[in-house]
Amino acid sequence: MPKAVAGPEIERLIQLLARLPGLGPRSARRAALHLIKKREQLMTPLADALAVARQKIVVCTTCGSIDTRNPCTVCTDPRRDASLIVVVADVADLWALERAGALNARYHVLGGTLSPLDGVGPQDLTIEALVSRAHGEEVKEVILALSATVDGQTTAHYITDLLQDAHVRVTRLAHGVPVGGELDYLDEGTLSAAIRQRTPI
Ligand code: ZN
């Protein structure tokens, strides 16, 4: 075991930082040192922000997203189109879609995807709440923005069946060539999906 270069408090800080996604032990050390050097400008405000967020974080009972208010910021934004619900597996997917800025919609966060192998069934996800939302008068379309994996597609089919008698259009994301992607590098599954879902120019 390597010798410690700092007291246990700093070692603990490094260990905790190393658990963050995208930070390995080396970058965790760099981040810890940066925080220590910038105590006033960064470490103190960060510690305060963490403490406040920890107290206030709630799950939105309407859409399943995470926020510091319930109903959440997205659900209560009057500028969003209430006729459109985008279904995602996780809050990270919601944030990713919002970064893309292609939609002005409400969301529904499932909390995962159906996975018989991992023992994730419909009762573990917010599917029931989604079905009742989809029956709401103002809802016209439900977009299933789920991963192109077996579990993602199983979940999409399951939800589509349940939405049969709701008066909504059920759509899903297109599968195909990524923007900036070279055909030569794509796998056969992606290429054949792109051919099947070709669109007129
Ligand atoms: Zn919400």
Q: Is residue 4 situated within a structural domain?
A: no
CA of 178 relative to ligand 1 center, distance in Å: 30
Q: Per residue in 160-172, pLDDT tens?
A: 999 999 999 999 9
Q: Is residue 60 situated within a structural domain?
A: no
pLDDT value at position 1?
Answer: 66
Give CA–CA dist 137/148, Å, rounded. 30
With a cut of 50, which residues of the chain have pLDDT below it?
none
Q: Is residue 149 situated within a structural domain?
A: yes
- DSSP at 7: -
Residue 112, domain extent? 82-172
Q: What is the CATH number of the domain that holds 128?
A: 3.40.1360.10
Q: Is residue 55 situated within a structural domain?
A: no
CA of 74 relative to ligand 1 center, distance in Å: 6
CA of 198 relative to ligand 1 center, distance in Å: 34
Q: Per residue in 114-133, pLDDT tens?
A: 998 999 999 999 999 999 99
In terms of Cβ atoms closer than 10 Å to its own Cβ (0-12, 13-18, 19+), residue 64 is: buried
Q: Is residue 6 situated within a structural domain?
A: no
Query: What tokens were used for 96?
Result: 């990713």
Give CA–CA dist 90/112, Å, rounded. 6
Q: Is residue 132 situated within a structural domain?
A: yes
Residues 6+ apart with CB under 8 A from 83: 138, 139, 140, 141
CA of 116 relative to ligand 1 center, distance in Å: 27
Provide φ and ψ at 82, rounded to 5°.
Answer: -75, -10
User: Helix (H) and strand (E) counts for the chain?
Assistant: 7, 6
This prediction has a pTM of 0.85
Give CA–CA dist 98/92, Å, rounded. 10
Q: Is residue 13 situated within a structural domain?
A: no
Q: Is residue 91 situated within a structural domain?
A: yes
Q: How many domains does the chain have?
A: 1
CA of 145 relative to ligand 1 center, distance in Å: 17
